[in-house]
Structures are given as C-alpha cells and as structure tokens.
Amino acid sequence: MIEINLLPGARRKKGASKGASINVGALLEQLRGRFKDPWLMVAVGGLLLGVAITGFMWYSQNTKTADLAERERIAVQDSTRYAAVLAQRSAAEAQRDSLLRQIAIISAIDGDRFVWPHVLDEVARALPTYTWLRQLQQSNQTAAASPEDVAANGGGRVAIRILAYTVDLQAVTIFMKNLEASPFLENVVISSSESATVDGKDVHQFQLDLMYQKPDSTAIRTVPLSIAVR
C-alpha cells in the first residue's frame, strides 16, 4: 500500500522534538560527577566562607556603631552636666576669692589701727630727760595707699620721722638706743643734727628716721575689755 504524506514536514518535526528532549537522568549524573571534583568543592566552600565572614563583619560593625552611638550620647549628657557643675564651681570660687580679699583688706586695716598708739607709746617711753619733741610724723606714702595695696604689702611699711630738741648731746644717743630696743621700732638713724635757739636758749636740734615693725606675738599683751555698768 502506498501512503501519501499530505502534511509535509510533520514527521521531521516529530523526530526533531524527540532529539531535543532533555535527559534528566544524564544531567543528574553529570552534576553528581562534577560535585566529586575537589576544586569545585573548594571554590564553593570559599564562597560560603566569604559570605559568612562578610555577614559577621557587617553584624560586628553594626554592633560597634550602635555601642559608639550610645557612648557618645552618654558622653554628651555627662559633658552637659559637668559643664553646669564646673560653672557653679567657678562661680563659688570667684565668690570665695572675693570674700578672702575683703577679709584680707579688713584684717590689714584692723591690724593697722593700733600702729600709731604703739608708736606714740614707745617714743614717749624712750624719750630721755631734758629732751622734747617738736614733730612726729609719717614720712612715706603708706597712709595714702589704697586698702588693697595695704593688704597686699602686709599692712605696709610705716616710715617715721622725729624732730626733737635736747640740751644734752648724750641724750640723742640714749634716745636712739631706747628706740632700737622697742619691739615696735627698727632702723633708727640720725639724719640731721645742728644747734638751734629756742626761746632765747641754745639747744641742739636733731632729726631721726625710723621704721615701724610688726612685733612678735609674744611682745603684745591683750586684756579683755570690761565695762562697768551702773
């Protein structure tokens, strides 16, 4: 019997489709064979290790970043708090220094209140017979200094000048020795000495320069002040 193919190419397409079919079994066998290759396994293992290390580093960096951010936040809070504390401390120290300066000034002024009473008392005690004073004054500018300068200089250095008369030249030497013996006076020197006439009498006029010194505490005797009330 003779067969006529009325659809040309039908058989060829069918045959072609059979030739293009995928052999799953062969593919699996091929993959199984490739996985037995050691270099391929090393490459896959290296890739997986790289991915794991990258993930760990990413996690570690994120953790460190979060920790540093938290530490920065705490540091900023502490800095703000400490700044306020330091500002309060600076203000307290400034107030303390101001009070100390005022106390020093008051102490210096209070300590100098009795300078001249001591000077007058010591000069009167040292004055020999047949000798009298004409002038007793401060010869430097300490009295005109400000309280701050007086306090800074430890009460200041008080220079004293004495102008006196005597009828006995030996009285000058005695007077100087008595002044030097005082715990309140020092550096007694004679700056001038000459003859003079007072009320028609011949006398000897002399000038002494000396310094007031703050004596040792043992040289000062204090007594309680008591006032009788009637």
Domain ranges of the chain: 114-216
**DSSP bridge partners of 212:** 158, 185
Cα 216 to Cα 114, 182, 183: the distances in Å are 15, 12, 8
Specify the pLDDT at position 62. Answer: 82
Specify the pLDDT at position 30. Answer: 64
Using 50, 70 and 90 to split pLDDT, how confident is the model at 229? low
Q: Where is pLDDT greater, at 105 or 95?
A: 95
Buried/exposed 3-33: b ≥16 CB within 10 Å, e otherwise:
eeeeeeeeeeeeeeeeeeeeeeeeeeeeeee
CATH architecture of 114-216: 2-Layer Sandwich (3.30)
